[in-house]
Every structure is written in structure tokens, then in C-alpha cells.
């Protein structure tokens, strides 16, 4: 597979990366955490988790939207159920990873998208977050990485965006 130099990352894969980064960091500190219920196929075994993180680390330019960053808080609260110091440590580790990656968080404005006739139907059918991700990938001529095959990937493929599912990037053995 040709290495990915630049990619837009959706909230699902980005959240999975943050969870795995935190879990592996805590394991190195002798603490065993189990967040398997937060992860989706194919990220249910440690070798595939490591392969996934390695793939994301190898992408030189990582982009996402401010809408995706905003979704991360809700995902963390609803899926991880962390409280107190554990929640604080998760977000510190997450911010550290995003800074290490130098992730390029871009604002794709709703009103800018709404002013384009060809995007109005897409906004209504798949929403602001997914429309913004497709627009960011199209604008940058790069890959869009997601786990959302049913909505985001299908729409991206329809408009000619190179969208790759995590399960395509990390084939199960």
C-alpha cells in the first residue's frame, strides 16, 4: 500500500487513536485499562491497534475540522465514563498527542458551505460535520479516513473524494 502523506481524519478514527494512545501510555506505567467497548472493528486486538497507531503516526500532515474536535468531548464522556483524575489524564494525553502530531484543525464554516448550492443537499442529508470533512479533503486533494462506511464514506466516494475506511487500512489477519 502506498504511504499516505496527507489525510483528513474523522472523529471515529481520531477518538480511537486518542483512546489507544492513553491506554498504551497507562500500560507502560503499569496500569491496565480496558477500553475495548469504545473501539470498533478492526481495532479489537493489540497488534491491530499498534498497526493503526503506527499508520496514523506515519501520516506527515494530519487535518481535521473544528467540528470533529468538538465531537471528541462528547465521545469521551459517553464512551469512556472517566471521572476526576482519570478524565483529566485522558485529556492531557490526548492534547499531548494532538500537539505531537501537529494536527491542523480547520474551521469549515456552515454558512460558507450553505452558500454553495451543490452542498445544500449534502448538508441536509449528512450534516455539517461530514460535509465539512468531505470539503476539507477535496480542498486539500487528500485522503479522508473514517470508520463511517454507511454515510460519510459513501457520500465522499460519490463526489470523488479518496475516502478510506480503517478496516481497509488495517486488514484483519
Whether the per-residue pLDDT at 123 is higher than 90: the answer is no
Residue 33: pLDDT band (50, 70, 90) is confident
Q: Can you give the pTM of this predicted structure?
A: 0.92
Q: Are 56 and 17 in contact (CB under 8 A)?
A: yes
Closest by CA position to 95, among listed 83, 84, 103, 106: 103
* H-type alpha helices, 36-151: 46-58, 66-75, 84-101, 110-114, 117-140
Identify the structural domains of the chain with CATH numbers, from first to last. Answer: 6-166 (3.40.50.1010)
Mean pLDDT over 110-139 rounds to 85
pLDDT > 70: percent of the chain: 97
* Calpha distance 145→86 (Å, rounded): 28
Rounded average pLDDT over 141-150: 96
Amino acid at each position: 500500500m502506498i504511504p499516505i502523506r496527507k489525510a483528513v481524519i474523522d472523529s471515529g478514527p481520531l477518538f480511537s487513536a486518542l483512546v489507544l494512545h492513553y491506554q498504551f501510555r497507562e500500560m507502560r506505567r503499569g496500569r491496565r485499562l480496558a477500553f475495548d467497548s469504545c473501539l470498533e472493528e478492526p481495532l479489537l486486538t493489540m497488534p491491530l491497534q499498534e498497526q493503526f497507531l503506527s499508520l496514523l503516526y506515519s501520516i506527515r500532515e494530519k487535518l481535521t475540522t473544528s467540528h470533529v474536535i468538538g465531537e471528541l468531548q462528547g465521545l469521551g464522556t459517553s464512551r469512556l465514563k472517566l471521572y476526576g483524575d482519570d478524565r483529566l489524564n485522558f485529556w492531557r494525553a490526548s492534547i499531548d498527542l494532538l500537539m505531537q502530531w501537529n494536527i491542523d484543525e480547520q474551521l469549515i464554516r456552515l454558512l460558507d458551505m450553505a452558500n454553495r448550492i451543490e452542498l445544500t443537499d449534502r448538508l441536509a442529508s449528512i450534516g455539517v460535520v461530514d460535509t465539512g470533512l468531505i470539503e476539507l479533503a477535496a480542498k486539500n486533494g487528500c485522503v479522508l479516513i473514517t470508520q463511517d462506511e454507511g454515510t460519510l464514506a459513501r457520500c465522499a466516494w460519490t463526489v470523488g473524494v479518496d475516502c478510506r475506511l480503517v478496516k481497509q487500512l488495517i486488514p484483519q489477519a
